[in-house]
């Protein structure tokens, strides 16, 4: 994969595709973590390049329709203050008119341009030809084969990965290809269908896999336990049974149940105490799981163990976070809910690495080649 080290940016016009899809309320950014993660690449490019054009999507507007609430203006205003450069917003794809108003410009929301989602070749060609070099640093969108994440890279005369993209691929490749055993993977979340490929891939690599959330319920059902009215996926029972046969899947002995997801009361029950009306919303880590985690030299975490947003169902995820924070293992976490749990119970700095990707993180860990990585020669 080509990186910034392979490109001479001196006196060049750089086009930089970032993931600046941040939450905005009342025209104010409520979480700037994605912008902060992009700053090293922005500063690196501005150090040598003559001009910089930033491209990103924001929210989910109707494609081809300009909607004021999804404008890049709040992000342009924020960046202007942070990088101390005048930034203007453009809404056209004509390279002859670029950079007349300022050294740094931001293209209006890329999803305002028809053809982005279906990877329109013409749109990709227009984007790729806006500058002398096209830099892709939006790992969170690298799993999407779209005009700005694939075709633009292909059509650019020069293209490379930015610093964040390079770091993501390096760190995630290390956990897949240079595993230091024992290796424990924690896979949580509501639906096993969304992570079955990940679990199957990790079953060939991990020493043990701890499952949580609705995913754990499906495995408990496959193992023959009563799970009452808990969420599970009937169509994946047979797949779960086969994965259980590997001996890699570690299940809890006790779970927290409640009458509904927003209840203010939970009850801890052994698995053999569960009744037909019970609903599982959290689990308790058993001694074997805790021991495995503490002995691990590599830990991968994706997905909470329970409905941690509710205080009465946060115990499993909170205990897991604390164990990982105190571990000396090489620890990597990814996924929006996982990062939310980390921010609630510990700090991102207490893990070796926290990925900025959601879907990209999952597909990479499944062993797939991401479209943007392919386009970059990876």
Write the DSSP assignment of 62-129 as a string of letters. Answer: PTT---GGG-SHHHHHHHHHHHT--EEEE----GGGTTSS-SEEEES-GGGSTTTTTT-HHHHHHHHT
What is the predicted pLDDT for the residue at 97?
85
Q: Residue written as tokens 């104010």? A: 28
Q: What gap in Å lies between CA 263 and CA 1, rounded to an integer?
A: 49
> Hey, how many other C-beta atoms are within 10 angstroms of the C-beta on 331?
21
CA distance 347 to 292: 22
pLDDT tens digit sequence for 292-345 = 999 999 999 999 999 999 999 999 999 999 999 999 999 999 998 999 999 999
Residue 336 has a pLDDT of 87
Which neighbouring-strand residues pair with 224? none
pTM summary value: 0.90
- Find, among 201, 200, 206, the residue nearest to 183 by Cα: 206
pLDDT one-digit tens code per residue, 68-87: 999 999 999 999 999 999 99
Sign of CA dihedral 215, 216, 220, 223: positive
Question: Cα–Cα distance between 176 and 363 in angstroms, integer?
Answer: 12
d(CA 169, CA 233): 32
Closest to 214 (Cα-Cα) out of 243, 249, 188: 188
Tens of pLDDT, residues 98-154: 999 999 999 999 999 999 999 999 999 999 999 999 999 999 999 999 999 999 999
Q: State yes or no: pLDDT of 378 exceeds 80.
A: no
Q: What are phi and psi of 332, to 5 degrees?
A: -130, 135
**Taking the CA of residue 307 as centre, how many other CA atoms within 13 Å lie in the half-sphere pointing to its CB?**
20
Contact 50, 11 (CB under 8 A): yes
Q: Mean pLDDT, the chain, as a whole number? A: 95
List phi, psi (to 5°) of 274: -65, 140
Q: pLDDT, tens digit, for every residue of 18-54?
A: 999 999 988 889 889 899 999 999 999 999 999 999 9
Domains of the chain and any CATH numbers: 4-163 (3.40.50.1260), 179-365 (3.40.50.1260)
Residue 43: count of CB within 10 angstroms of its CB: 12
% of residues, the chain, pLDDT over 90: 93
């Amino acid at each position: 994969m080509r990186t910034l080290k392979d490109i001479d940016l001196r006196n060049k016009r750089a086009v930089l595709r970032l993931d600046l899809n941040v939450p905005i309320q009342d025209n104010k950014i409520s979480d700037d973590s994605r912008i902060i993660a992009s700053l090293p690449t922005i500063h690196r490019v501005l150090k040598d390049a003559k001009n910089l054009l930033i491209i990103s999507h924001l929210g989910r507007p109707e494609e081809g329709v300009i909607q004021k609430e999804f404008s890049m203006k709040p992000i342009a205003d924020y960046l202007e203050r942070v990088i101390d450069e005048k930034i203007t917003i453009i809404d056209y794809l004509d390279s002859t008119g670029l950079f007349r108003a300022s050294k740094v410009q931001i293209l209006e929301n890329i999803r305002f341009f028809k053809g982005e989602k279906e990877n329109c070749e013409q749109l990709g060609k227009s984007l790729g030809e806006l500058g002398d070099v096209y830099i892709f640093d939006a790992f969170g969108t690298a799993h999407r084969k779209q005009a700005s994440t694939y075709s633009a890279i292909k059509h650019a005369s020069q293209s490379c990965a930015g610093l964040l993209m390079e770091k993501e691929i390096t760190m995630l490749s290390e956990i897949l290809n240079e595993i230091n055993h024992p290796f424990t993977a924690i896979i949580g979340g509501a639906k096993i269908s969304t992570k079955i490929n990940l679990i199957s891939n990790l079953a060939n690599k991990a020493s043990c896999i701890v499952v949580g959330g609705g995913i754990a319920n499906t495995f408990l059902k496959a193992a023959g336990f009563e799970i009452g009215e808990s969420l599970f996926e009937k169509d994946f029972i047979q797949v779960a049974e086969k994965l259980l046969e590997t001996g890699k899947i570690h299940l809890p002995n006790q779970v927290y149940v409640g009458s509904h997801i927003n209840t203010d009361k939970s009850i801890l029950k052994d698995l053999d105490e569960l009744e037909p009306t019970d609903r599982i919303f959290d689990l308790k880590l058993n001694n074997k799981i805790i021991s495995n985690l503490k002995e691990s030299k590599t830990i991968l975490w994706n997905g909470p163990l329970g409905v941690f947003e509710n205080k009465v169902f946060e115990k499993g995820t909170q205990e897991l976070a604390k164990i990982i924070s105190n571990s000396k293992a090489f620890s990597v976490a990814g996924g929006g809910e996982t990062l939310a749990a980390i921010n609630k119970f510990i700090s991102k700095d207490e893990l070796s690495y926290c990925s900025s990707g959601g879907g990209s993180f999952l597909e990479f860990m499944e062993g797939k080649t991401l479209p943007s990585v392919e386009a970059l020669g990876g």
